[in-house]
Every structure is written in structure tokens, then in C-alpha cells.
């Protein structure tokens, strides 16, 4: 899910900017603000840009970056840009397409660790794989909290600890992660792996059967890609984690998919109020809307996936899916104690993971449609495998034999460069030899790891072959699109498996082509795609 970030300035942005401007100007005129600051539109732009696609979370009363006592015993404070009253160093972030590009510039200017204040929050920006690993792995236990974003409290029924991705580290979180492992990381050739394969292949078959029905083989059909892949992913997740398949025409299914997608979009945007909590009232309406969408999802999941499973559960039974594992944990009173309510939030988070895969796939198809040579290579790889095995569909077990298709997925992940969910220091500590105080927000600049010209040849180019060596997929150690360590992504294997299956099977059966005049540029710096995205010409292949 980083599928995990934040904003709203983009919708009704003019109104927000005007009110923000007014509020900031008023605040700056307060007599206690000694330093004069001119609030210029570029500052507000910087704010908007930083917030877009980042997932930064603020609204906390934070401590200074450095604990000031006994400086001789403490590491030094990290260098960083000048901070102004109220806005902090936001001006530094103005003028970048992706906010994390500003973090790369700060890295060049100040080194691997940059201290900066953003609105009311103390933050550090961490650049470079060694320093990032120090945060995620070597000192993981110091930096395993998540930002205390007021907005996330509101999104998760007043308590961000309900969320798998935004909670702080705890024994409950450890148990929730452990419980997920057999489901989200099915081992090759295990029972769960085969189940997933059957579910995904059937689902793709059913959905692809809908394309071009009634048309002659060679007539292209116009297909909106987002609803198609979201439906496949949602039903695959519902069946795999909850043993429930929805009829695609079922209005409840469509509402659930749509609501998840809207919430996914929301948490992937930047949000001014996260830095400047006094702006939060401006978002009340939208937050209420999100709350209603989440409530509706809960009702649908209870009615459909859960039904009477909780009441019917017989203690001592073997869990068959993730819902069983959750019920078993709650009813078996295994430690640490988990309320049924909390378990339901975990289930929603995981079912909602389909939005991450679906949005990622939309973007990946956006790259593929712009590169017919890439599409042709995937197709010939798929054709060769099916011919070799005498089958009609690509199975998950074919993944190892289709390195080019795998490399396409890696390349899309690299270029999209979705941010790592920010971490927070849970104690005074240090990074790269610089002091970092408890509560400091930590941005890990994986954008630079994915896009730096020092690490990649022509990084702007879509070139899947960069991940291939001697016919095998090779991932450089510094490439970490799913984070690392104890807060790493719980859905990366599901992402890899579903993406592989959907891309290879869809392109084995069909060729996609752009429609003249349509814009297929892929927005980067966040996983989320707007509701209306790409439409393709789809033609059945003669296989
Ligand atoms: C292209 C797809 C995806 C990308 C790029 C992605 C990326 C990430 C990243 C960067 C993090 C933060 C890691 C860190 O803080 O070190 C994360 C966390 C997480 N992801 Fe994903 N993710 C994807 C799909 C999914 C899916 C499909 C699921 C669910 C099945 C999922 C579940 C989670 C969870 C639960 C966390 C929070 C883990 C924790 O904080 O303990 N993700 N993801």
C-alpha cells in the first residue's frame, strides 16, 4: 500500500490555497512572530508539491531535532536549510515535479542527513543506501514508528493504531505481520501458492472473456483499463484472503472497489494540514466523505466476506484463509490480545491492497502501450513458454522462466518511484553520525535510489533489460521499492505474483495500442492513478 501517502490541495485547490494564504498571512502578522516572512505563491506551491505523492504526516507537537543537553556527549546536529516561522523550510521544496527530487538536491547540498523543519514538524531527509539501511535495518528498533498524522487518526476510526501501515511498532503489530506471512508470502509450489494461481488465472479468464465479446477477432475493442484490472485484483484478493467471489455486476462489489480506490488515492496525496494542523478544518468535508466510504466498505465486507463465519468458527479448526487466521487468533485468545474490531481493520487493509496492485498495473500498462517493442517481447516470451509446456494460460510457476516480463515489472516499479512511508524516531538516536531526537519524522529518499544518474544509465528511459544479466533478473541492492526491515511492505510478493499473471496472460491473448490523441504519460512519485485513466485499443491475438 504506499500506497500510503497523502493531499487534498489538488481537489478544490484554489479555495484551499486562498484560505491557506489568508491564514498564513494573518498568522504571520501576529506580534509574537518577530521575523517578517512574505508568504509568496511559490511557498504555497512548494507546500503543495511536497505534499503531493509523499505521505508525509504531521500535525504533531514535535521536539527539536537535537536534544540540547550535554552537547559534548552527543553527536552533532545535522546541517540543513534555514527555517522560517510557521512554514519552516518549505520554500526549499518549491519547483520540483516530484517532491523527493528536492530531497536529492538537499542531499547534494548538505550530505546524507539533512535536518529541516516543515511547518510544525521536525524532519530529517536521509539519502544514500548505506544511511537508509542504517534507519531501516541496523537501527530499525529506534525508527519503527509512523507519523502521528491527525488525518490518519480520523481515517481509522479515531485511532491510527488500527492501521497496518500507519501504526507505531508494537507486539500487536508484530503479531499482525506474523499472521499475514503465510498468506501474503506463499512459498513457491506450496498449497497457498497453487490456490492463488488457480484464483488469479480463473479471474483473468472470466474478465478477459468480456473483452470484445460479439466483435470479430480483428476489430479492436476500446477498453478502459482501470476498471478491468481493479476488478480482477479485487476479486482475486477477496477469494484468496476471504474465500468469497463477487459477481462483477454486483453493485456492492462495484461500490467496494470504487470506495477502496478513492481512499487509496486520498492516502497517496500530500496534504497541507499534515504540516500545518490549523488547516485541518478546511478538510473536514472530505474527511467525512472518506469516513463514509470506509464505513460502507466495512458493511459490505461484513455482509459478504464475513457473513456468519465468526459465529460458526469451531475452535481447533485449521485456518484455510486469512479470515480464518484472524478469527482463530481473536477467539483462541492467543497473545497478544486482538479485538475483533482491530482484526477487521487488518482485513480491510489487506483486501484494500488490491488497489495498490491495480493502480500499479494501470501505470505499467501505460508504459507498455508507449513501447510496442516491450509488448512484443513479453508476447514472444509468453508464446514460447506456452508452446514449451503445451498450455493455454500462463501459470505462476512460469515466472522463473519469463525473466523479461519480470524485468518489465521491476522497471515500472523503478520509474514510478513510489515513496517509502515515512518513519518516526521512537527515541533519541542518531543517523549517519548526526543526532536525531525522538519524534523526528524521517524521509527515506528512495526516489534517488531509483532515479539517480550515478546509479542508473539513462534513468529516465523505460528499459527493462537493465534488470537482466545472462538471461536472469538481477536486482541491485540499492533498489528498494518496497522498503526493508521490520516495517517493510507486506504485499510485495502479492504485487509481483498478480502483476506477472495479469500482464502475461492479458498480453498473451491481446495486443494493446494507444488511441490517437490520448495522453499516456505516466504520473510518477506515487502509485495512485486518477479514477479516469487510460483507454486502449485492444485486439485479440491469433494464438
Ligand atoms: C506496487 C505495489 C506496492 C508498493 C510499491 C508498496 C510499497 C510499500 C512501501 C515502500 C512500504 C513502506 C516500507 C517501509 O516503511 O520500510 C509499504 C508498506 C506496506 N505495504 Fe506495500 N506496497 C505495494 C503493495 C502492497 C500490497 C498489495 C499490500 C497488501 C497486500 C501492501 C501492504 C503493505 C503493508 C501492510 C505495509 C505496512 C507494513 C508496516 O508498516 O509494518 N503493499 N509498501
Q: Is 87 within 8 Å of 117 (Cβ atoms)?
A: no
Distances (CA, A) of 205 to 199, 210, 508: 10, 9, 12
If one residue of 2, 126, 162, 416 were mutated to test the ligand 1 pocket, choosing by the most ligand atoms within 8 A of its CB, it would be 2
Closest atom of ligand 1 relative to the 146 alpha carbon: 40
| Ligand 1 center to 399 CA (angstroms) | 22
pLDDT tens string 423-459:
999 999 999 999 999 999 999 999 999 999 999 999 9
Structure-block grid coordinates of residue 402:
519469463
Residue 97 Cα to chain centre, angstroms: 19
What confidence score (pLDDT) does residue 215 get? 59
| Ligand 1 center to 70 CA (angstroms) | 39
If one residue of 357, 490, 526 were mutated to test the ligand 1 pocket, choosing by the most ligand atoms within 8 A of its CB, it would be 490
Q: Is 304 within 8 Å of 177 (Cβ atoms)?
A: no
| Ligand 1 center to 372 CA (angstroms) | 30
Structure-block grid coordinates of residue 92:
526549499
* Closest among 2, 122, 120 to 55, alpha carbons compared: 2
pLDDT tens string 69-121:
544 578 999 999 999 999 999 888 888 888 889 999 999 999 999 999 999 89
Average pLDDT, the chain: 87
If one residue of 139, 349, 482 were mutated to test the ligand 1 pocket, choosing by the most ligand atoms within 8 A of its CB, it would be 482
What confidence score (pLDDT) does residue 157 get? 84
Average pLDDT over residues 490-519: 97
Dihedral pair phi/psi, residue 83, rounded to 5°:
-110, 135
Dihedral pair phi/psi, residue 113, rounded to 5°:
-125, 120
Pick the residue whose CA is nearest to atom 41 on ligand 1.
Answer: 487
Binding positions for heme are 489
User: ∠ at Cα 38 (37, 41), nearest 5°?
Assistant: 135
| Ligand 1 center to 490 CA (angstroms) | 5
Model confidence at 542, pLDDT cuts 50, 70, 90, reads: confident
Place of cell 502509485: 527
| Ligand 1 center to 352 CA (angstroms) | 11
Residues facing residue 268 across a β-bridge: 5
Pick the residue whose CA is nearest to atom 19 on ligand 1.
Answer: 489
Structure-block grid coordinates of residue 415:
520509474
Structure-block grid coordinates of residue 449:
535510489
- Helix or strand or coil: residue 540? strand
pLDDT tens string 258-274:
999 999 998 888 777 88
| Ligand 1 center to 149 CA (angstroms) | 18
pLDDT tens string 304-346:
999 999 999 999 999 999 999 999 999 997 889 999 999 999 9
DSSP 83-151: -BTTTBTGGGGTT-SSHHHHHHHHHHHH-SEEEEEETTEEEEEE-SHHHHHIIIIITGGGS-B----HH
If one residue of 185, 489, 490, 497 were mutated to test the ligand 1 pocket, choosing by the most ligand atoms within 8 A of its CB, it would be 489
Pick the residue whose CA is nearest to atom 30 on ligand 1.
Answer: 491
The least confident of 11-20, 211-220, 467-476 is 11-20
For residues 216 and 44, which has the higher predicted lDDT (pLDDT)?
216
Average pLDDT over residues 465-470: 97
Closest atom of ligand 1 relative to the 360 alpha carbon: 1
| Ligand 1 center to 451 CA (angstroms) | 20
Listed by start position, the domains of the chain span 153-540
* C-alpha radius of gyration, the chain, whole number: 24
Quick one: CA dihedral 127, 483, 50, 434, positive or negative?
negative
| Contacts of range 105-110, beta carbons closer than 8 Å, 24 or more positions apart | 106/80, 106/81, 107/445, 107/448, 109/81, 110/78, 110/79, 110/80, 110/81
Residues with CB under 6 A from ligand 1: 1-3, 136, 164-165, 177, 184, 349-350, 353, 356-357, 360, 418, 420-421, 481-484, 487-491, 494-495, 527
What confidence score (pLDDT) does residue 217 get? 63
Q: Is 214 left (phi over 0), alpha (psi -120 to 50) or beta?
A: left
Average pLDDT over residues 5-26: 38
| Ligand 1 center to 219 CA (angstroms) | 39
Fold of 153-540: Cytochrome p450 (1.10.630)
Closest atom of ligand 1 relative to the 169 alpha carbon: 41
* Closest among 54, 3, 10, 530 to 262, alpha carbons compared: 530
Average pLDDT over residues 457-479: 97
Closest atom of ligand 1 relative to the 237 alpha carbon: 30
Distances (CA, A) of 16 to 13, 45, 172: 5, 12, 38
Model confidence at 8, pLDDT cuts 50, 70, 90, reads: very low
Dmax (CA) of the chain:
79
Q: How many CB atoms lie within 10 A of CB 97?
A: 12
**pLDDT > 90? residue 29:** no
The fraction of the chain above a pLDDT of 70, given in percent, is: 85
Binding positions are 489
Closest atom of ligand 1 relative to the 184 alpha carbon: 30
Place of cell 484554489: 14
| Ligand 1 center to 85 CA (angstroms) | 35
Give me the helices (H) in 135-243, please: 150-155, 171-184, 191-208, 225-242
Model confidence at 151, pLDDT cuts 50, 70, 90, reads: confident
Residues facing residue 537 across a β-bridge: 222, 513
Amino acid at each position: 500500500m504506499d500506497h500510503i501517502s497523502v493531499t487534498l490541495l489538488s481537489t478544490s485547490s484554489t479555495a484551499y490555497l486562498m484560505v491557506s494564504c489568508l491564514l498564513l498571512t494573518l498568522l504571520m502578522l501576529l506580534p509574537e512572530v518577530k521575523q517578517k516572512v512574505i508568504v509568496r505563491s511559490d511557498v504555497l506551491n512548494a507546500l503543495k508539491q511536497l505534499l503531493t505523492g509523499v505521505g508525509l504526516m504531521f500535525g504533531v507537537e514535535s521536539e527539536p531535532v537535537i536534544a540540547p543537553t550535554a552537547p559534548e556527549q552527543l553527536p552533532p546536529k545535522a546541517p540543513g536549510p534555514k527555517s522560517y516561522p510557521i512554514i519552516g523550510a518549505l520554500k526549499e521544496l518549491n519547483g520540483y515535479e516530484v517532491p523527493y527530487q528536492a530531497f536529492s538536491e538537499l542531499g547534494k547540498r548538505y550530505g546524507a542527513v539533512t535536518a529541516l523543519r516543515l511547518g510544525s514538524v521536525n524532519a530529517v531527509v536521509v539519502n544514500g543506501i548505506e544511511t537508509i539501511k542504517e534507519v531501516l535495518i541496523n537501527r530499525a528498533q529506534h525508527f519503527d514508528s509512523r507519523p502521528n498524522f491527525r488525518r490518519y487518526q480520523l481515517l481509522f476510526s479515531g485511532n491510527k493504531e488500527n492501521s497496518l501501515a500507519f501504526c507505531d511498532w508494537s507486539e500487536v503489530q508484530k503479531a499482525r505481520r506474523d499472521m499475514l506471512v503465510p498468506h501474503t508470502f506463499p512459498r513457491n509450489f506450496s498449497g497457498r501458492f497453487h490456490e492463488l494461481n488457480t484464483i488469479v488465472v480463473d479471474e483473468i479468464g472470466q474478465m478477459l472473456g468480456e473483452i470484445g465479446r460479439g466483435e470479430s477477432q480483428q476489430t479492436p475493442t476500446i477498453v478502459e483499463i482501470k476498471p478491468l484490472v481493479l476488478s480482477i485484483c479485487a476479486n482475486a484478493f477477496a477469494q484468496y484472503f476471504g474465500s468469497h467471489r463477487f459477481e462483477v455486476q454486483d453493485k456492492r462489489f462495484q461500490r467496494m472497489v470504487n470506495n477502496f480506490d478513492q481512499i487509496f488515492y486520498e492516502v497517496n496525496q500530500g496534504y497541507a494540514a499534515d504540516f500545518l494542523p490549523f488547516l485541518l478544518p478546511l478538510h473536514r468535508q472530505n474527511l467525512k466523505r472518506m469516513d463514509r466510504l470506509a464505513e460502507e466498505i466495512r458493511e459490505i465486507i461484513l455482509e459478504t466476506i464475513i457473513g456468519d463465519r465468526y459465529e460458526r468458527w469451531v475452535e481447533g479448526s485449521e485456518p484455510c484463509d486469512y479470515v480464518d487466521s484472524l478469527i482463530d487468533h481473536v477467539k483462541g485468545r492467543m497473545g497478544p490480545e486482538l479485538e475483533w474490531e482491530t482484526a477487521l481493520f487488518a482485513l480491510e487493509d489487506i483486501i484494500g491492497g488490491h488497489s495498490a496492485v491495480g493502480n500499479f498495473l494501470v501505470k505499467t500498462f501505460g508504459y507498455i502501450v508507449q513501447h510496442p517493442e516491450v509488448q512484443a517481447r513479453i508476447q514472444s516470451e509468453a508464446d514460447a513458454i506456452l508452446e514449451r509446456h503445451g498450455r493455454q494460460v500462463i501459470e505462476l510457476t512460469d515466472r522463473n522462466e519469463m525473466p523479461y516480463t519480470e524485468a518489465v515489472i521491476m522497471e515500472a516499479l523503478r520509474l514510478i518511484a513510489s515513496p517509502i512511508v515515512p518513519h518516526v524516531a521512537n527515541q533519541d538516536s542518531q543517523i549517519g553520525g548526526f543526532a536525531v531526537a525522538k519524534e523526528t519524522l524521517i524521509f527515506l529518499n528512495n526516489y534517488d535510489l531509483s532515479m539517480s544518474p550515478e546509479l542508473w544509465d539513462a534513468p529516465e528511459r523505460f528499459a527493462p533489460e537493465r534488470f537482466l544479466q545472462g538471461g536472469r533478473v538481477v536486482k541491485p541492492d540499492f533498489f528498494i521499492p518496497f522498503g526493508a526491515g521490520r516495517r517493510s511492505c507486506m504485499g510485495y510478493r502479492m504485487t509481483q505474483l498478480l502483476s506477472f499473471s495479469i500482464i502475461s496472460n492479458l498480453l498473451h491473448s491481446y495486443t494493446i495500442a494507444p488511441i490517437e490523441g490520448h495522453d499516456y504519460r505516466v504520473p510518477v512519485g506515487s502509485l495512485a492513478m486518477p479514477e479516469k485513466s487510460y483507454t486502449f485499443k485492444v485486439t485479440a491475438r491469433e494464438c
